[in-house]
Amino acid sequence: MELLSARLTALSPSETFAMAQKSNELKAQGIDVINMSVGEPDFTTPVHIKEAAKQAIDDNFSFYSPVAGFPDLKKAVCEKLKNENDLEYTPAQIVVSGGAKQSLCNVILSIVDKDEEVIIPAPYWVSYPEMVKLAEGRSVFIYAGIEKEFKITPQQLEDAITPRTKALILCSPSNPTGSVYTRDELQALADVLEKHKNVYVVADEIYEHINYIGKHESMAQFDNIRDRVIVVNGVSKGYAMTGWRIGWIAAPQWIASACSMLQGQYTSGPSSISQKAAVAAYTGDQSCVTEMREAFERRRDLIVNLLGQIPGLKVNNPMGAFYIFPECAGYLGKSYNGKKINTATDLAMYLLEVAHVACVGGDAFGAPGCIRISYATSDENITKAIARIAAALEKLI
Q: What is the bridge-based pairing of β-strands 247-250 and 229-234?
A: antiparallel
Whether 175 contacts 374, CB under 8 Å: no
Alpha-carbon Rg for the chain in angstroms: 21
Burial 368-378 (b: 16+ CB within 10 A, else e): bbbbbbbbbbe
The partner in contact with residue 247, picked from ligand GLU, ligand PMP, none with C-beta cut-offs of 5 to 8 angstroms by kind, is ligand PMP
Q: Does 125 participate in binding ligand PMP (rule CB under 6 A)?
A: yes
Q: Does 39 participate in binding ligand GLU (rule CB under 6 A)?
A: yes
Q: Does 23 participate in binding ligand GLU (rule CB under 6 A)?
A: no
Helix, strand counts (H, E) of the chain: 13, 14
Contacts with ligand GLU, 50-89, as mask; x by CB under 6 A: ----------------------------------------
Which of the residues 194 through 213 are near ligand PMP (CB under 6 A)? 204, 206
Count of residues that bind ligand GLU according to CB under 6 A = 10
The partner in contact with residue 17, picked from ligand GLU, ligand PMP, none with C-beta cut-offs of 5 to 8 angstroms by kind, is ligand GLU
Q: What angle do CA 144, 388, 348 make, to 5 degrees?
A: 45
Please state at what angle helix 47-58 crosses helix 272-283, rounded to 10 degrees. 140
Closest C-alpha to 173, from 208, 203, 141: 208
Which of the residues 142 through 171 are near ligand PMP (CB under 6 A)? 171
Contacts with ligand PMP, 240-279, as mask; x by CB under 6 A: --x----x--------------------------------
Please identify which residue in 33, 34, 36, 38 interacts with ligand GLU, judged by CB under 6 A: 38
Please identify which residue in 11, 17, 72, 314 interacts with ligand GLU, judged by CB under 6 A: 17
Q: Does 260 participate in binding ligand GLU (rule CB under 6 A)?
A: no
Cβ contacts of 160 within 8 Å, gap of 6 or more: 119, 140, 142
**DSSP tag of 11:** P
Burial 20-53 (b: 16+ CB within 10 A, else e): bebbeebeeeeeebbbbbbbbbbeebbeebeebb
Q: Does 172 participate in binding ligand GLU (rule CB under 6 A)?
A: no
Q: How far is the CB of 172 from ligand PMP (least distance, A)?
A: 10
> Counting every residue, how long is the chain?
397
Which helix (H) or strand (E) segment holds residue 57: the answer is helix 47-58
Q: Does 345 participate in binding ligand GLU (rule CB under 6 A)?
A: no
Which of the residues 15 through 54 are near ligand PMP (CB under 6 A)? 39
Please identify which residue in 234, 318, 326, 369 interacts with ligand PMP, judged by CB under 6 A: 234
Q: Does 97 participate in binding ligand GLU (rule CB under 6 A)?
A: no
The partner in contact with residue 14, picked from ligand GLU, ligand PMP, none with C-beta cut-offs of 5 to 8 angstroms by kind, is ligand GLU
